[in-house]
Amino acid sequence: MTKEKKIILIEDLPGVGETTAAKLREAGFATMESIAVASAGELVDAAGLGEATAQKAINAARDSLEMGFETADKILERRQNVSKLSTGSKELDALLGGGVETQSITEAYGQFSSGKTQVGLQLAVNVQMPKDKGGLEGGCLFVDTENTFRPERVVQLANAKGMDPNEVLKNIHVARAVNADHQMLLIDKADEIIKEKNIKLIIVDSLMSKFRSEFIGRGTLAGRQQKLNKHLHMLQKLAEMNNIPVYVTNQVMSNPGILFGDPTTPIGGNIVGHQSTYRMYFRKSKGEKRIARLVDSPCLPDSECIFSVTEKGIGDM
């Protein structure tokens, strides 16, 4: 009886040779974990494999990693690796259970000037700080879909923290998404730069802007939601595989069906709502004052807090 070959490298997977492995790595499938959590269609598109061969490779990768049921104490042990990134506001950090969590997607939605982008820019600076000061000692990927990234503001925030603005700017890698497909491609190709540049945070500002402008009318809704679902799952995959936080901002609309109370509703439907681990609603108040409400969380109660947006950045009143 022949002994089964132990699968260690991508080349060891059934139906995957050196050429195919090179194509997979180029497409971002550089680890056994990334192949194990991929769909057959993704491998077909990436390396030109047949669907049956792609599924065999995925199954073999999963078997090699022993993916399946496990006891909850093992999950708790793995959760010890989760870190928190400070927003700069003690109140906002407390609302999120200590800060923006790694291995998760944190969404902030609200009207214009409610503080969504400002929190994102602050996180892009804070992530570079030492861990004992609320940072993660790494760089940031910033996907800009609304032309909202301003290096001048980053310089302000860095100076307020006593950091070297030039070094801070060099650790923020910005890409302007020209359309929804480009936005998806930037995230699909992000794994390589995450490892190469020690990236510890991904920001998408805003998540829905390009999808909203390109997919107009009810007839395009199904196609939009399918693409959006794939995009969010890729963001979640990057967050889990690299133990980093993902922060996305979202636009809103007024729901005419709500006659009493706040009609402000985030766009993107149930797909965004279900895929976001933590969901916050930002509202503008008087002057520098902003109100944040935690709308959804797997482990925290709904609650509100007040924070401020000043020239020095995100803080408390």
pLDDT of 111 above 70: yes
Burial (0-12, 13-18, 19+ Cβ within 10 Å), 194: buried
Per-residue pLDDT tens digits for 11-23: 889 988 889 988 8
Q: Which fold has domain 79-315?
A: Rossmann fold (3.40.50)
Tokens of 247: 């922060």
Give the chain's end-to-end CA distance (angstroms, integer): 72
What does the pLDDT read at residue 85? 98
What does the pLDDT read at residue 221? 83
What does the pLDDT read at residue 1? 41
Torsion angle of C-alpha atoms 143, 146, 149, 153, degrees rounded to 10: -150
pLDDT band at 4 (very low <50, low <70, confident <90, very high): low
- The residue ranking higher by pLDDT, 214 or 151, is 151
Per-residue pLDDT tens digits for 65-92: 877 788 899 888 888 899 999 999 999 9
- Enumerate the domain spans of the chain: 12-65, 79-315
pLDDT band at 259 (very low <50, low <70, confident <90, very high): low
Averaged confidence pLDDT in the chain: 91
Q: What are the beta bridge partners of residue 308?
A: 289, 315
- The residue ranking higher by pLDDT, 3 or 62, is 62
Homologous superfamily in CATH for domain 12-65: 5' to 3' exonuclease, C-terminal subdomain (1.10.150.20)
Q: What are the beta bridge partners of residue 296?
A: 279
